[in-house]
A and B are shown apart, each in its own frame.
Chain A
Amino acid sequence: MGMDLGTKPTKKGRHTPEMNVTPLVDVVLVLLIIFMVITPALSKQIWLHIPNDPEDLPAAAVDPNQPLVVSVNDEGRIRINRDVVSDERFPERLTRVLAARGERKIFFDAHEDVPFERAAEALDLAREGGARTIAVMTTALPSGG
């Protein structure tokens, strides 16, 4: 009934007022595309091996012939075996050490009180340096150093 009011003037040449929705559609579509693109990019992962024999690990940390140990000390600084390395130089240094050893495997540990975020940063830098197999220790390193 109410609609009839609208139709009659139209036939005489007057338009019913219409909202211009084009900008709204534009904005909404762009938002939708942004969400769709960001969704898969947000969740990624790093695979960490958990070695089966925990007894091997402390030995690995002391014996220089054993696999490389990257650790984060209580001050949050990264160490390759026993040497403290700055964040900037760490990836390059690790690349060289890995090349000299001919393998891309490292063991990783961090001090109890280091925030996980910092440990993850160290892992990220290790991956940048070319480490492909990262094994985490399940017991603390024998000496804090």
Chain B
Amino acid sequence: MNTFWRTFKVAAWLGWEMDSNWTEPWLFMLYSVVKPVAGAFILVLMYQVFAFIGNTQDLAAFSYMYVGNSFFIFVGSVLFGTFQVIQSDREWYQTIRYVYISPISYYVYVVGRAVSKIVVAAFAVFITLVFGVAFLGIQIHMTLDAVPLFVASMLLGLAVLLAIGICLGGISFLTAKHTHGLAEGIPGLFYVFCGVLFPLSILPPWGQAIGQAIPLTYWFDITRRLIAPSLGVDTTLTGYSDFTIMLLLVVSSVAFFGLSLLIFKTGEYYARKAGKIDMTTSY
């Protein structure tokens, strides 16, 4: 356990150094905030244009969308932060052979490397939400007694995200330079099917079925319920109590953790067998 913790700490520090060392700290923080805030502003303008041409205001729908979009920052960052580790170490920095042969758990190392992305994402989510409340009239009313459940749901949601990221990382042991395709494609699917910006009822029935099969859908729903309980938008998940959703998240976390171990170890095994652990594909 001591080795795991040490690996995790050092990998997290390394991840932070690698992410932030390309420029000055202030520019890095600005960069980390500008992207997600601009993403939120796209939604702001979409809403404003609709409100302007239709002469209608629907602040509840706008708040629903804004809060979902803010928390989606975690999805892109954590997934990319996890599954790009193997590719970047192998193809870009070409250091994977040295890390891999060191007496550590490579799985824990990958998780540790993703932590810096989570920290930066948390900062961006916070800034986006504060901006929304202060300047855009976003309706957030989280009560104190909801805080423990919110923290628990955040931890479970992030655990599911990390596990999904490691599943993809396991696949990347065997693939060439497809990180960007995965980085765009997988979060894109979650963006559409998980009720991030609109209730699932907008999707066709097959789309709703896909959405209800993805645990992140429930994570977004409970997050919204806890921090913006007065929105009054029908999410189509009202039949699920908070307890049921938390239970679903616990089960999903465990299931995806098991799946991530399986895929990671299988990918690692076949990569070693085929001599692909430290391959370079002219990236």
**Genuine A/B complex:** no
B residues neighboring A (CB under 8 Å):
none
